[in-house]
Amino acid sequence: MIRLYKVTKRLGEHKFALRDVTLNVAPGEFVLVTGPTGSGKSTLLKVLFGDEDFASGRGIVNGRNLNRLDGPGLASLRRELGLVFQDSRLIDRLPIVDNVSLAAEVAGVPRPEARARARRLLETIGLGDHAEVSPLVLSAGERQRVSLARALVNNPALLLADEPTGSLDPDASNEILDLLVEVNRGGTTVVIATHDQEALSLLRCRTLFMYEGRLIEEDQSGFDDTRIVADL
């Protein structure tokens, strides 16, 4: 699903957002990326989503070579991925069903099917009765659940979540984590960037640590750099 080899992104002559990041994530994995603020977690997710380029190294996400993505290729990659931010980034003038369905419509799904998908997802996250309400009346946790539904509306192979519980109270945070676990059990690969200690203690999954742009304390057992380079 994800293969990165020595990916480096510079912020200046002697400063790095990412530094020699090598990573392999298999399809269906659930992975946490943690580390202090400014360690490179968000930048890593942006690289995976194709929202940030990098100075050197090689990368493949869901079979697509990040080094060779053109405009159409980037658009295709993003249709295969879901992205959840710390802030929900909903459109407050639209009812929540349209916030969710719009992502599918942009990807080319006919409006009736997009809205049907959206309603099914809202039922799944417990907000089916709120489909026509404005996001303005929702709690922070409910808004984040809608954001998750929006990220899932195109049935992504990979879900990237950047601090999805960072602004939530413990109960709402647990609800989001439970939903992410369920998404992963359904076969979607999930990568979360977080410094939420509660999430780290509750989720028993592979955990990677970042510090000053480097990926550290990664379990390298069975990890063959030579094979990755050959594949890239």
Q: Per-residue DSSP letters for 116-183?
A: HHHHHHHHHTT-GGGTTS-GGGS-HHHHHHHHHHHHHTT--SEEEEESTTTTS-HHHHHHHHHHHHHH
Q: Which of 135, 161, 166, 132 is nearest to 148 (CA)?
A: 161
Q: What is the mean pLDDT of residues 183-193?
A: 93
Residue 224's pLDDT is 43
pLDDT tens digit string along 67-110? Answer: 988 888 888 888 899 999 888 889 999 999 999 999 999 989 99
d(CA 208, CA 215): 7
pTM assigned to the model: 0.86
Q: How is the beta sheet containing 2-10 ordered, strand by strand?
A: 16-25, 2-10, 56-61, 64-65
- CB 149, CB 175: distance < 8 Å: no
The yes-or-no verdict on residue 231 having pLDDT over 70 is no
Predicted confidence band at 45 (pLDDT cuts at 50, 70, 90)? very high
Alpha-helical (H) ranges within the chain are 41-49, 71-79, 96-106, 111-124, 140-152, 170-185, 197-202, 225-231
- CA distances (Å), origin 46, targets 54, 80, 220: 10, 15, 23
Instruction: Return d(Cα 10, Cα 85) in angstroms, integer.
Output: 23
Give pLDDT tens digits for 3-43.
Answer: 999 999 988 777 889 999 999 999 999 999 999 888 999 99
Give the pLDDT confidence score for residue 216 in this predicted structure: 82
- Distance from C-alpha of 79 to C-alpha of 126, rounded to nearest angstrom: 25
Residue 232: both structure tokens together: 């890239």
The dihedral built from the CA positions of residue 49, 50, 56 and 57, taken in this order, carries a sign that is positive
Residue 232 pLDDT greater than 60, yes or no? no
Q: What is the pLDDT of residue 112?
A: 95
Closest by Cα among 1, 150, 90, 172 to 161: 150
> What confidence tens digit (pLDDT) does each residue in 194-228 have?
887 777 778 878 999 999 999 986 544 333 444 44
Give residue 228's pLDDT.
41
- The contacts of residue 71 (CB under 8 Å, 6+ apart) are none
* Residue 126: half-sphere exposure toward Cβ, Cα within 13 Å: 11
Q: Which two tokens stand for residue 124?
A: 């799944």
Question: Which has more pLDDT, 146 or 170?
Answer: 146
CA distances from 68 to 96, 100, 107, 150, 206 (A): 36, 30, 21, 28, 29
In 3D space, the residue among 99, 124, 129 whose CA is nearest the CA of residue 114 turns out to be 99
Q: Dump pLDDT digits (tens) for 127-143.
A: 999 999 999 999 999 99
